C-alpha cells in the first residue's frame, strides 16, 4: 500500500523510516553495510513510500559509480544485439547499471560515444571495437582513463582484458570438417574486412588447407560497410559471372556473408546443400541467430555467446573491485553446428 504523500529526498525518506539520512545513504550504497534490523526498517519504508535516490545527486559525488557502458559496433547486426543483450543482463545481475551504445558502423561516432562515456564516470566499460576502422589512439586514451574490457574484436594490448573467440580455430575446424566430408573448400570473404577477426579466419583456413595438403583458394568480394549480406550476394554473382567458384564447397568468413551467397545461389538457380541434387555446399561462421532458418539451414561455427559475455563481465567486475590492471586475454573455441548447407 503506497502512501500518496510523495517523498522528495533522502532526508524526508530517512525521517519517515525513522532513521538518519547518512544511515539511509549507507544502505543505498550497500544494503549489507547496515544492521539487519535497520535494513528491514528501510525496506518496509521503501514498500510503503515509493522513493528512489536521485541518480544525478548520487553520481555527482561518488568517486566510483555503478554505471557500466556497453559499446558495440553495430547493433542492427543480430549477432551484436544478442551478445549485447546477454552482457547487459549479466551486468545487471552483477549490480551494475548498464547503458547500451552502438557506433552504427561509424568510427567517428565511436569516438564520440567514448567521449560522452567519459562524462558518465562509468565504473567500467565493455567494448567491442569497430575493428579495422577504429581510431586506435582515441581508444587507447580511453582505456587509460576508464577500466575497459574489450570483446569480440581485439586491439592488441589495450584495455584490462580481451575476451573473444579463437577465430583461427573456427576456420580450421570448419575447413577440416568440409575436407573430411567432401571437396576441400575455397574461402570467401570481403576484400576489406571491417574486423581483424576476418584475418584470423583466413589464416585458419590457410593453415588447415596446408596441413591437409590441399591447395587453398581465397576469393574476395568487393564492398565496404556493414551490409554484409548484400556484399556476399553481389560478390557471389560476380564470381558466377566469371566462371564460378574454384570449389564446390564455399567456406564464408561469416554467416551474414554466407546468407548473401545463399541468396545469390538461389538467384542463379544453383541448388545448395547436402542432398544429391545440390551442386554446392556453403558454410558460415558465427551461428548468427537466423542461420538455422536459411534455406538450406546454414552449417556454421557457433560462438560461445554465453561464455564470452559471462567472462567479459566477470573480468570487468574483478578489475573494478580489485583495481588491478594486468592485461589478460581469453579466447573461446567454437563448436561445429552441422546443418544442411554443408
Q: Which residues bind DNA (CB under 7 A)?
A: 8-11, 18-23, 25-26, 28-29, 33-35, 37-38, 53-54, 57-58, 60-64
In this structure, are residues 25 and 18 in contact, taking their beta carbons and an 8 Å threshold?
Answer: no
Report the alpha-carbon distance of residue 159 to residue 121 in Å, rounded.
16
Sole window of 29-37, 145-153, 213-221, 258-266 interacting with a second copy (rule: CB under 8 A): 258-266
Does residue 260 bind a second copy (CB under 8 A)? yes
Does residue 40 bind a second copy (CB under 8 A)? no
Q: Tell the burial category of 2 from Cβ atoms under 10 Å away from its Cβ (0-12, 13-18, 19+).
A: exposed
Does residue 76 bind a second copy (CB under 8 A)? yes
Interacting partner of 34 out of a second copy, DNA, none (Cβ under 5 to 8 A depending on kind): DNA
Spatial CA neighbour of 53 closest among 15, 89, 11, 96: 11
Cβ nearer to a second copy, comparing 64 with 210: 64
**Vertex 99, ends 23 and 193: CA angle to 5°?**
150
Restricted to residues 107-126, the positions that interact with a second copy (CB under 8 A) are: 115-116, 118-121
Interacting partner of 102 out of DNA, a second copy, none (Cβ under 5 to 8 A depending on kind): a second copy
- Least separation, in Å, of the C-beta of 276 and a second copy? 13
In this structure, are residues 287 and 294 in contact, taking their beta carbons and an 8 Å threshold?
Answer: no
- Least separation, in Å, of the C-beta of 231 and a second copy? 11
List b or e across 111-121, with b for residues whose CB sees 16 or more CB atoms inside 10 angstroms: bebbeebeebe
Report the alpha-carbon distance of residue 259 to residue 275 in Å, rounded.
19
Cβ nearer to DNA, comparing 18 with 246: 18
- Least separation, in Å, of the C-beta of 229 and a second copy? 5
Total number of residues binding a second copy (CB under 8 A)? 44
Report the alpha-carbon distance of residue 131 to residue 133 in Å, rounded.
5
Residue 245 phi/psi, 5-degree rounding, is: -70, 150
Q: How crowded is residue 215: how many other Cβ atoms within 10 Å of its Cβ? A: 10
- Least separation, in Å, of the C-beta of 232 and a second copy? 9
In this structure, are residues 221 and 191 in contact, taking their beta carbons and an 8 Å threshold?
Answer: yes
- Pull the grid cell for residue 118: 567519459
- Pull the grid cell for residue 27: 544502505
- Least separation, in Å, of the C-beta of 231 and DNA? 44
- Least separation, in Å, of the C-beta of 80 and a second copy? 9
Sole window of 28-36, 54-62, 191-199, 326-334 interacting with a second copy (rule: CB under 8 A): 54-62
| Interface residue list for a second copy (CB under 8 A) | 52, 54-57, 59-60, 75-76, 78, 81-82, 84-85, 88-89, 97, 99-102, 104, 115-116, 118-121, 229, 233, 259-260, 262-263, 265-266, 289-290, 292-297
Amino acid at each position: 500500500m503506497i502512501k500518496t504523500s510523495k517523498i522528495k529526498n533522502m532526508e524526508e525518506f530517512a525521517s519517515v523510516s525513522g532513521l538518519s539520512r547518512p544511515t539511509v545513504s549507507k544502505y543505498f550504497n550497500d544494503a549489507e553495510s547496515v544492521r539487519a534490523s535497520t535494513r528491514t526498517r528501510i525496506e518496509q519504508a521503501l514498500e510503503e513510500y515509493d522513493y528512489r535516490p536521485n541518480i544525478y545527486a548520487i553520481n555527482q559525488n561518488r568517486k566510483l559509480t555503478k554505471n557500466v557502458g556497453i559499446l558495440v559496433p553495430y547493433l542492427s547486426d543480430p549477432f551484436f544485439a544478442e551478445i549485447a543483450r546477454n552482457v547487459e543482463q549479466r551486468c545487471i545481475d552483477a549490480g551494475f547499471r548498464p547503458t547500451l551504445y552502438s557506433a552504427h558502423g561509424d568510427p567517428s561516432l565511436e569516438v564520440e560515444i567514448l567521449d560522452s562515456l567519459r562524462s558518465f564516470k562509468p565504473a567500467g566499460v565493455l567494448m567491442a571495437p569497430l575493428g579495422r576502422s577504429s581510431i586506435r589512439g582515441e581508444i587507447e586514451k580511453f582505456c587509460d582513463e576508464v577500466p575497459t574490457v574489450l570483446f569480440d574484436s581485439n586491439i592488441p594490448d589495450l584495455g584490462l582484458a580481451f575476451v573473444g573467440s579463437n577465430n583461427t580455430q573456427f576456420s580450421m575446424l570448419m575447413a577440416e570438417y568440409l575436407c573430411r566430408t567432401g571437396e576441400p573448400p575455397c574461402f570467401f570473404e570481403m576484400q576489406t574486412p571491417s574486423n581483424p577477426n576476418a584475418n584470423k579466419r583466413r589464416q585458419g583456413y590457410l593453415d588447415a588447407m596446408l596441413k591437409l595438403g590441399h591447395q587453398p583458394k581465397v576469393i574476395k568480394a568487393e564492398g565496404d560497410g556493414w551490409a554484409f549480406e548484400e556484399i556476399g550476394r553481389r560478390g557471389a554473382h560476380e564470381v558466377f559471372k566469371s566462371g564460378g567458384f574454384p570449389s564446390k564447397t564455399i567456406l564464408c568468413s561469416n554467416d551474414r556473408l554466407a546468407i548473401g551467397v545463399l541468396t545469390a545461389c538461389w538467384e542463379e538457380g544453383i541448388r545448395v546443400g547436402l542432398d544429391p541434387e545440390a551442386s554446392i555446399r556453403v558454410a558460415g561462421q558465427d551461428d548468427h541467430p537466423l542461420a538455422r532458418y536459411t534455406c538450406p539451414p546454414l552449417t556454421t561455427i557457433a560462438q560461445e555467446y554465453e561464455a564470452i559475455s559471462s567472462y567479459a563481465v566477470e573480468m570487468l567486475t574483478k578489475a573494478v573491485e580489485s583495481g588491478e590492471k594486468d592485461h589478460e586475454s581469453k579466447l573461446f573455441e567454437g563448436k561445429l553446428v552441422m546443418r544442411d548447407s554443408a
